[in-house]
């Protein structure tokens, strides 16, 4: 029987609705600034999220919708890199303006974990700069230091759904997967976490509600708050009304380690 040692958080879609209200809006601003008439609607962006990584997503979109496009200057790599850098500039400005709040229950759970000695880490596909800005503008200037490891973006060769970023975080924390829980929001996220042998809790959002979460230990519609209970879509919560350390501790202690 294992004791809960650490929570490993995904970022986009899990800590906040950064995809809908942050990255998507910022991509569109970058496209307009570059003189492109590309517009990623809410619905289209939901489909494009199947591809993880902003640079990878731009390339996929170009191949699918603008096959004959030739970039100004002729070099596709630098064109995509420039668009992506502009997107990140707009994204950080949106965070500074407070356009992307944390999802319900996130701050409560982080503070409770810290108070109870449960270690924290991040395992994400986005960049360290984007994670730091989100934490700073939602939780305050010291919040980055709450996380022992921030596994982000291009530090690993393969992005989610590959398990690399979770392996990276577990190695640095010197923890085995059966002492930890990954908290994710998407099919790509659960595949990555399960691939590293982690129990996974899913908090769905509007983009991911219909994803295939095969292998998840618990699926809820959000973390909930004491006065704003979550809805359980799959799994056993023994009367709990929100995601807290007691419930997560019970999930880790339950028999049957879900090795991938």
Catalytic machinery residues: 10, 12
> Which contiguous run of DSSP H or E holds residue 180?
strand 180-184
- CA 87/CA 248 separation, integer angstroms: 36
> Closest CB to ligand XBP among 162 and 245?
162
> Which residue is closest to ligand XBP by CB?
54
Q: Contacting Mg ion (CB under 5 A), which of 4, 6, 10, 222?
A: 10
* 17 touching Mg ion, by CB under 5 A: no
Q: How far is the CB of 28 from ligand XBP (least distance, A)?
A: 13
CA distances from 8 to 14, 24, 177 (A): 11, 25, 10
Applying CB under 6 A, the residues found at the interface with ligand XBP are: 10-13, 19, 23, 52-54, 124-127, 130, 160, 189
* 12 touching Mg ion, by CB under 5 A: yes
b/e 210-222 (16+ beta carbons within 10 angstroms → b)? ebebebbbbbbbb
> Closest CB to ligand XBP among 23 and 90?
23
DSSP state letters, 203-248: E--TTTTTS--TT-SEEESS--BTTB---EEES--TT--S--HHHH
> Closest CB to Mg ion among 28 and 186?
186
Q: Which does 130 bind (CB under 5 to 8 A by kind): Mg ion, ligand XBP, none?
A: ligand XBP
């Amino acid at each position: 029987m294992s004791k809960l040692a650490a929570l490993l958080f995904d970022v986009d879609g899990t800590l906040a609705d950064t995809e809908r209200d942050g990255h998507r809006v910022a991509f569109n601003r970058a496209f307009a600034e570059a003189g492109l008439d590309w517009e990623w609607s809410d619905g289209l962006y939901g489909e494009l999220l199947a591809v993880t990584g902003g640079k990878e997503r731009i390339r996929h979109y170009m191949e699918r919708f603008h096959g004959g496009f030739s970039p100004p200057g002729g070099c596709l790599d630098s064109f995509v890199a420039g668009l992506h850098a502009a997107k990140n500039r707009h994204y950080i400005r949106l965070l500074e303006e407070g356009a992307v709040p944390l999802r319900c229950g996130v701050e409560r759970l982080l503070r409770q974990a810290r108070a109870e000695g449960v270690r924290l880490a991040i395992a994400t596909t986005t960049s360290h700069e984007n994670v730091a800005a989100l934490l700073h503008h939602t939780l305050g200037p010291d919040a980055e230091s709450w996380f022992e490891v921030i596994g982000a973006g291009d530090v690993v060769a393969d992005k989610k759904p590959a398990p690399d970023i979770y392996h990276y975080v577990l190695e640095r924390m010197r923890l085995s997967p059966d002492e930890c829980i990954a908290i994710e929001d998407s099919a790509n996220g659960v595949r990555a976490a399960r691939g590293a042998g982690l129990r996974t809790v899913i908090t769905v959002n509007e983009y991911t509600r219909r994803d295939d979460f095969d292998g998840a230990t618990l699926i809820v519609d959000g973390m909930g708050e004491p006065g704003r209970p979550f809805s359980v879509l799959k799994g056993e919560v023994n009367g709990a009304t929100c995601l807290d350390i007691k419930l997560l501790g019970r999930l880790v202690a339950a028999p049957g380690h879900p090795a991938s």
